[in-house]
A and B are shown apart, each in its own frame.
Chain A
Amino acid sequence: DAGVIQSPRHEVTEMGQEVTLRCKPISGHNSLFWYRQTMMRGLELLIYFNNNVPIDDSGMPEDRFSAKMPNASFSTLKIQPSEPRDSAVYFCASSLLGGSSYNEQFFGPGTRLTVL
């Protein structure tokens, strides 16, 4: 398996533009997580899905952020409009759900977003 795949790896955009980050989880995994990492705030869980259904989006900073998982093999995180403070590395991770606990997560390489 190729692991979790994220695209693009780097994104530079201007304030106000729409940004779409993409993630392909590991085949067979039924949980998917979006994280944001910055020096100031560390690693933050934004949202996670179980069986393609959003379970907890309390970490999504504001309405400018939205995430979808139309099928088991694809998810997007969209920022519209983007702002400089959204600059960060965004990670996608997938896992195999086991009961009501978080199991080992497999992380993608991340997307480094820079908003000018």
Chain B
Amino acid sequence: SQQGEEDPQALSIQEGENATMNCSYKTSINNLQWYRQNSGRGLVHLILIRSNEREKHSGRLRVTLDTSKKSSSLLITASRAADTASYFCATDNYGQNFVFGPGTRLSVLP
């Protein structure tokens, strides 16, 4: 099974609401990264959180990491229609491998 797995697979919310996506992984990691992919485009890096960090913020994004549970969450606050995209987590196993999860498709309805 995949190292990183996002949950839920798909999420629909209204503009202005918060969106929370989760990522679970299986092995120890050096860092975990979140990426966004708009339809038909390449992935765009959002945020990187290292294994010794528990929380990180970037604008309307908040990422948490719980290494004891091997899980991370991405929170997008005050969502906008432009946030509609697929969101992927990726885990770095100390340079041994770098694995993307299957992604969460977020739809923000106006």
Contact = CB atoms under 8 A, between A and B. Distances in A.
Majority-rule SS of B interface residues: strand
Interface stretch (B13-21, B67-75, B94-102): B94-102
A109 interface: yes
B99 A102 contact: no
B92 A104 contact: no
A25 interface: no
Majority-rule SS of A interface residues: strand
Given A107-B44, A108-B42, A42 B2 contact: yes
Given A42-B100, A43-B88, A91 B31 contact: no
A48 B99 CA distance: 13
A100 B102 contact: no
Given A43-B100, A102-B33, 11 more contacts: A33-B98, A35-B100, A42-B100, A42-B101, A43-B88, A45-B97, A100-B30, A100-B94, A102-B95, A107-B44, A110-B42
Interface of B: 2, 30-31, 33, 41-45, 48, 88, 90, 92, 94-95, 97-103
